[in-house]
Homo-oligomer: A and B are copies of this chain.
Amino acid sequence: MMNTPLTLVSLIERAEKYFPKKEIISRTQGGIHRLNYKETGKRTRALSSALEKLGVRKGDKVGTFAWNHHRHLEAYFAIPSMGAVLHTINIRLAEEHLVYIINHAEDKVLLIDIDLLPLIEKIKDKLPTVEAFIVMSDEEKPPESNIEPLHSYEALVSEGDEAYQFSTDIEEEDPAGMCYTSATTGKPKGVVYSHRGIVLHSMALSMADTAAISESDVLMPVVPMFHANAWGMPFVGTWLGSTQVLPGPMMTPKILAELIESYKVTLTAGVPTIWLGLLNELEKGNYNTESVRAVLCGGAAAPKGMIRAFETDHGIPFIHAYGMTETTPLVTLARLKSYQTELPEEDRLEIRSKQGMVVPGLDVKAINENGEIKSDGKEMGELLIRGSWIADEYYNDIRSQDVYRDGWLYTGDVVTIDEEGSIKIVDRTKDLIKSGGEWISSVDLENAIMAHESVFEAAVVSIPHPKWQERPLACVVLKENEQLSKQDIIEFLEPQFAKWWLPDDIMFIEEIPKTSVGKFLKRALREQVNEQLNV
């Protein structure tokens, strides 16, 4: 068969050719912009030509430091379609990490949102590889700044060649993008996405049993375009000619609800905290959300109660998914099989609150000390993933060898897999408690404790034990003006768990330490606990 490479060029060209009238609706500092794919194609080509004039060549890295908007979307295609590499930079990283990744990737050009410019101004002297800075705003004149040389995005685009021919010299294994993922300890680790990986991932996102993304969709990625390709939505949406709603900087739940109503969003994607915020907003306001056919939720586990609230109270179908920066990111998606649709509501909710089944095109398995685990929904093991859109190394990073072994990605996530192949994340390998050779899920205990009406939040960590090696200890933050004893909590847990799962001790604390994205920072908590226990 023909040896036609799978590249991103064909995605943007399809949008230009077949969906010239369909629109990208973008909210920026300056208000709402509407651009169709014909205009977007021209602007994208003009941007490629401008980058070429600035010296960008095949394989060069071009960094973006931006919210979700049409200019970022243009960069998503302009950079890879000229053979360069789109490096999306997480705007929430600490200064030290920003400097590290821009230098580590050797970014040659940086595209920066005007409101994020101060963050780059602070570190500009530490970025020797960057030859040009481009500021993205509605103006054709760059703002006052100490950055040199600072170009205006709009000026470059208006002077660029809108008939620029995209590269025909791209192999499908060539890098198209990269994104750094934060490590629990040490520097961020770079993941490189190939053209092939992104195209196959786009096909997967459009398959009927996954997200079924279609031309008729109005997509609103709330997940940032600076993180894991906004879950691939800008790529597949452009390819299929979907309408795209890009919510821009600093979006609040109110802004999201208004965008959904105004533009009849059909599919939106983000993390649980976003949806919790939206849920509160929907309960306050009187928004019309009838257009929404699915809310995709990943990044962390969604509480069952939230899924129920979306579906029962608001009639909005909620789809739980799982992936990582290393996996482009879609790996699993929780949908009912056809013969599960007649199950009682609670059973269906139970299935749909798991992370779900692996999507077509990938393989997964889970292993523990005894080899591959049984698919019984009980045995726990570390999740391993393999497939065409899974990274096989970290970019120039010795830590690759810890994670990519024997052709598999070792996720560090501990899971169970049930008889139907549905995966449930029960812990991180590092946070799992190994008591007398058996595993105890800290996440399961935490969720159970947090279901108590007096508890604000709870985290469970292991403490050393002379006989059992490790035993669980629960750190609990009570709600304001609430009182509970250790015994109250143990009694609350007793009916739900085997005796040996119950925490050996409960520690009441003021706050659980968290990462920059709001996840529990167990390492810090363990240190804090050990200090207090003097172990």
Give Cα A363 to B7, complex, Å.
12
Give Cα A14 to B21, complex, Å.
39
CB distance from A24 to the nearest CB of B (A): 15
Is A213 in contact with chain B by the CB < 8 A criterion? yes
Are B213 and A208 in contact (CB-based, < 8 A)?
yes
Across the interface, name the chain B residue whose C-beta is closest to A6. B388
Are A388 and B1 in contact (CB-based, < 8 A)?
yes
Interfacial chain B residues near A207, Cβ < 8 Å: 203, 206-208, 240
Interface string of A208-225 (1 = CB under 8 A from B): 110011111000000000
Known: A391-B2, A392-B1. A208 touches B203 (CB 8 A): no
Are A14 and B360 in contact (CB-based, < 8 A)?
yes
Are B209 and A2 in contact (CB-based, < 8 A)?
no
Give Cα A201 to B109, complex, Å.
38
The B-contacting residues of A in range 360-407, CB under 8 angstroms, are 360-361, 363, 386-392, 407
Are B392 and A17 in contact (CB-based, < 8 A)?
no
Is A520 in contact with chain B by the CB < 8 A criterion? no
Are B361 and A2 in contact (CB-based, < 8 A)?
no
Is A351 in contact with chain B by the CB < 8 A criterion? no
Is A197 in contact with chain B by the CB < 8 A criterion? yes
Interfacial chain B residues near A17, Cβ < 8 Å: 421
Interface string of A469-503 (1 = CB under 8 A from B): 00000000000000000000000000000000000
Known: A203-B204, A386-B2, A388-B1. A357 touches B214 (CB 8 A): no
Across the interface, name the chain B residue whose C-beta is closest to A421. B18
Is A337 in contact with chain B by the CB < 8 A criterion? yes
Interfacial chain B residues near A213, Cβ < 8 Å: 208
Interfacial chain B residues near A361, Cβ < 8 Å: 6, 10, 203
Give Cα A366 to B253, complex, Å.
49
CB distance from A234 to the nearest CB of B (A): 15
Give Cα A205 to B240, complex, Å.
14
CB distance from A290 to the nearest CB of B (A): 16
CB distance from A88 to the nearest CB of B (A): 16
Within the oligomer, what is the number of copies of this chain? 2
Across the interface, name the chain B residue whose C-beta is closest to A208. B214
Are B391 and A203 in contact (CB-based, < 8 A)?
no
Are A2 and B421 in contact (CB-based, < 8 A)?
no
Q: Which of A3, A193, A391, A407 has the most CB of B within 10 A?
A: A3
Are A2 and B390 in contact (CB-based, < 8 A)?
yes
Is A184 in contact with chain B by the CB < 8 A criterion? no
Is A87 in contact with chain B by the CB < 8 A criterion? no
CB distance from A386 to the nearest CB of B (A): 6
CB distance from A453 to the nearest CB of B (A): 38
Interfacial chain B residues near A19, Cβ < 8 Å: 337
Are B4 and A360 in contact (CB-based, < 8 A)?
no
Is A26 in contact with chain B by the CB < 8 A criterion? no
Across the interface, name the chain B residue whose C-beta is closest to A19. B337
Interfacial chain B residues near A516, Cβ < 8 Å: none
Is A194 in contact with chain B by the CB < 8 A criterion? yes
Across the interface, name the chain B residue whose C-beta is closest to A409. B2
Q: Which of A4, A17, A207, A215 has the most CB of B within 10 A?
A: A207
Interfacial chain B residues near A388, Cβ < 8 Å: 1-2, 4, 6
Are A360 and B2 in contact (CB-based, < 8 A)?
no
Is A420 in contact with chain B by the CB < 8 A criterion? yes
Report A's interface with B, CB cutoff 8 A.
1-4, 6, 10, 14, 17-19, 21-22, 173, 192-194, 196-197, 200, 203-204, 206-209, 212-216, 239-241, 328, 337-339, 357, 360-361, 363, 386-392, 407, 409, 420-421
14 new A-B contacts at CB < 8 Å, known A4-B390, A207-B240, A215-B337: A1-B391, A2-B387, A2-B392, A4-B363, A4-B387, A10-B363, A14-B360, A17-B421, A19-B337, A206-B207, A206-B208, A209-B214, A215-B338, A216-B337
* Between-chain CB contacts (< 8 Å), 24 pairs: A1-B197, A1-B328, A1-B388, A1-B389, A1-B390, A1-B392, A2-B386, A2-B387, A3-B392, A4-B387, A4-B390, A6-B388, A10-B363, A17-B421, A200-B203, A203-B204, A206-B206, A208-B208, A208-B213, A209-B214, A209-B215, A215-B337, A216-B338, A240-B360
Query: What 4 A-B pairs come out closest when comparing CB atoms?
Result: A208-B214, A216-B338, A1-B197, A206-B207
